Amino acid sequence: MSDKKENLDMPLGEFREVGKKLVDWSADYLDNLETFDVLPKIKPGDVKSKLPQNAPQKSESFEEIINDLDKIILPGITHWQHPNFMAYFASTASGPGILADLISSALNVNGMIWRTSPALTELEQTVLVWYQKMLGIPNSFKGIVYDTASVSTLHAIASAREYLQAGIREKGMSGAPKLRLYCSEHAHNSIDKSCLTLGLGLDGIKKILSDENFSMIPEELENAIKDDRANGILPVCVVATIGTTSSTAVDPVDKIAEICERENIWLHVDMAYAGVTAMLPEMKTYFDRIEKADSIVSNPHKWLFVPIDFSTLYIRNPEVLKRAFSLSAEYLKTAEDSVAENYMDYGIQLGRRFRALKLWFVIRYFGVEGLQERVREHIRIAGLVAKWIDESENFERLAPTPFSTVCFRAKPKSISDENTLNELNEKLISEVNATGKVLLSHTKLNGKFTIRLVISGIRQEERHAEEVWKLLKETLKNII
Ligand SMILES: *Cc1c(COP(=O)(O)O)cnc(C)c1O
């Protein structure tokens, strides 16, 4: 204790000792993952009730802090790192990614402008070019890192709005013509949130009908644009999704791009989850014509083993993004402004953390081939699950499985009523999740309660999929 008083920060001897302990803690955690229930068996408020309501007035020891980490926090954790976390889009952090986060915090640099940390800016530029080449995005695009796809997309749509040159930057939205954005009815609701934020409003979104595979119908898009133009509404942006959130459907980017080119409308491609599969030659078919997009979002924090948060936006005409957001404040002017990139000019935020370290560590540690192998293996395992379902008498698949997400439901021969099937599947997923052995999530497709099983975690092997499939079959037997 007296030692602490003499030091302004934690003494370095203690930092080393505790740091090593916490690296061991992390390794033990990863080693013991499979002993935890994926979803904690607790109620809302349980964690809070164990925490003191006031901050400690006096210094506490790290021993006490770690003790509470084990006793209060860990039992309240949903284990995203667990190999049987197969819900949402399973996102995992790899060893090198975790360690990069530690270094990023140790350096604690703020990359608002080039001078405030040249290596942050230049490493971000370099690894984003690596990743861009891995995905086959032409080098004419410029990449930038944001925290999440929601924020990447917000910046893309802000660029689309600026691209109109409708004077909105100066005068705001009140004098602007009515604007419309188009996306499929299955697009992620981050698009809606961007429209809320940017003043387009929910009325500013037109959801385009999709076909039986949940892909946007280009003719419907064409008609919607025509109708709007006839009514004096100005089209601002089309969002095409490769890998929708519900069923991982793929919108026909080639046809949509043709329409956007002809109509001179900004095309944003949302491939937050599925984008990483563009690394694989056999998956290229899903990414046909992405080079026609004006902006593309892909999330390494989803399926490339980079700890959350890490989203990339690639933009064909970065000057438009810069036009939308750059302001120059006297205290931020530097001698290098004409030759160096200042990231503050490309978005809302001034401060930015050193995220590029995470992707740099991860790509170097696994190598492009190592990453390709892992993603390819996930697609293979998901394909197996799809096959088991197709071959089973009591289950059916409810959507194509182009990536690593399987959409299905139980459908015993004896039941044909849709409401009864929905209730049965709701019961099935809740019983299966209540075992703690797995976490699955759900969606609705054509009114059918749909179970989603996702394979995209770095620790997922075929045996985990087998275990979950067995559990689903056994649980179903017990509830029908
Ligand atoms: C996950 C996802 C998003 C949102 O991602 P965040 O990084 O959590 O904002 C957006 N679009 C698609 C297609 C997604 O899969």
* Concatenated DSSP letters of 392-438: -SSEEE-S--SSSEEEEEE--TT---HHHHHHHHHHHHHHHHHTSS-
Q: What is the DSSP letter of 447?
A: T
**How many domains does the chain contain in total?**
3
Mean pLDDT of 327-344: 78
312 lines ligand 1 (CB under 6 A): no
Q: Is 456 near ligand 1, meaning CB less than 6 Å away?
A: no
> Do 158 and 58 share a domain, yes or no?
no
Q: Whose CA is nearest to atom 12 of ligand 1?
A: 272
Reading across the β-sheet that carries 441-445, which strands appear in turn? 395-397, 405-410, 448-454, 441-445
The answer to whether position 286 is within a domain reads yes
- Stretch (H or E) spanning 445: strand 441-445
Residue 262 lies in a domain: yes
Going from the Cα of 273 to the center of ligand 1, the distance in angstroms, rounded, reads: 7
Same domain, 145 and 89: no
Alpha-carbon gap, residue 114 to 304, rounded angstroms: 27
Q: How far is the CA of 150 from the centre of ligand 1 (A)?
A: 6
Residue 215 lies in a domain: yes
Average pLDDT, the chain: 95
Whether residue 358 is contained in a domain is answered as no
Partner residues linked to 448 by β-bridges:
445
Q: Are residues 192 and 305 in the same domain?
A: yes
Ligand 1 atom with the shortest distance to the CA of 187: 13
How many Å from the N-terminal Cα to the C-terminal Cα in the chain? 62
The reply to whether ligand 1 has any atom less than 6 angstroms from the CB of 152 is: no
pLDDT of residue 143 exceeding 80 = yes
Full residue range of the structural domain in which residue 197 is found: 110-353
The model's pTM: 0.95
Atom of ligand 1 at shortest distance to CA of 148?
Answer: 7
Q: Which pLDDT band, with edges at 50, 70 and 90, does 1 fall under?
A: very low
Rounded average pLDDT over 408-431: 97
Same domain, yes or no: 58 and 190:
no
> Which of 319, 353, 387 lies at the terminal end of a domain, its last residue?
353
CB of 114 closer than 8 Å to CB of 121: yes
270 CA to middle of ligand 1, Å?
A: 8
* Cβ neighbours around 460 below 10 Å, total: 24
- In short, whether 272's Cβ falls inside 6 Å of ligand 1 is yes
Residue 155 Cα to ligand 1 middle (Å): 14
Q: Is residue 218 part of a domain?
A: yes
Q: Are residues 23 and 159 in the same domain?
A: no
For a ligand 1 pocket test, name from 194, 277, 302, 407 the mutation site with the most ligand atoms within 8 angstroms of its C-beta.
302
Shared domain check, 266 and 408:
no
For residue 150, the ligand 1 atom closest to its alpha carbon is: 9
Instruction: Summarize the confidence of residues 361-368 as an average pLDDT.
Output: 98
Average pLDDT over residues 188-199: 97
Listing DSSP states for 125-189 in one string gives: HHHHHHHHHHHT--TTSEEEEESSHHHHHHHHHHHHHHHTTSSHHHH-STTSPPEEEEEETTS-H
Q: Tens digit of pLDDT for each residue in 426-446?
A: 999 999 999 999 999 999 999
Let me know whether 219 and 132 are in one domain: yes
State the Rg of the chain over Cα. Answer: 24
What contacts 346, CB < 8 A, 6 or more positions away?
144, 155, 318, 321, 322, 325, 326
Is residue 361 domain-resident?
no
For ligand 1, say whether the CB of 188 is within 6 Å of any of its atoms.
yes
User: Which of 310, 326, 353 is the C-terminal boundary of a domain?
Assistant: 353
Same domain, 387 and 296: no
Segment 20-77, tens digit of pLDDT: 999 999 999 999 999 999 999 999 999 999 999 999 999 999 999 999 999 999 999 9
Q: Hunting for tokens 């499985």 — which residue is that?
A: 401
Q: What CATH number corresponds to the domain at position 34?
A: 3.90.1150.170
> Residue 284 and residue 275: Cα distance in Å, rounded?
10
Place of tokens 């001897």: 13
Binned at pLDDT 50, 70 and 90, residue 401 comes out as: very high
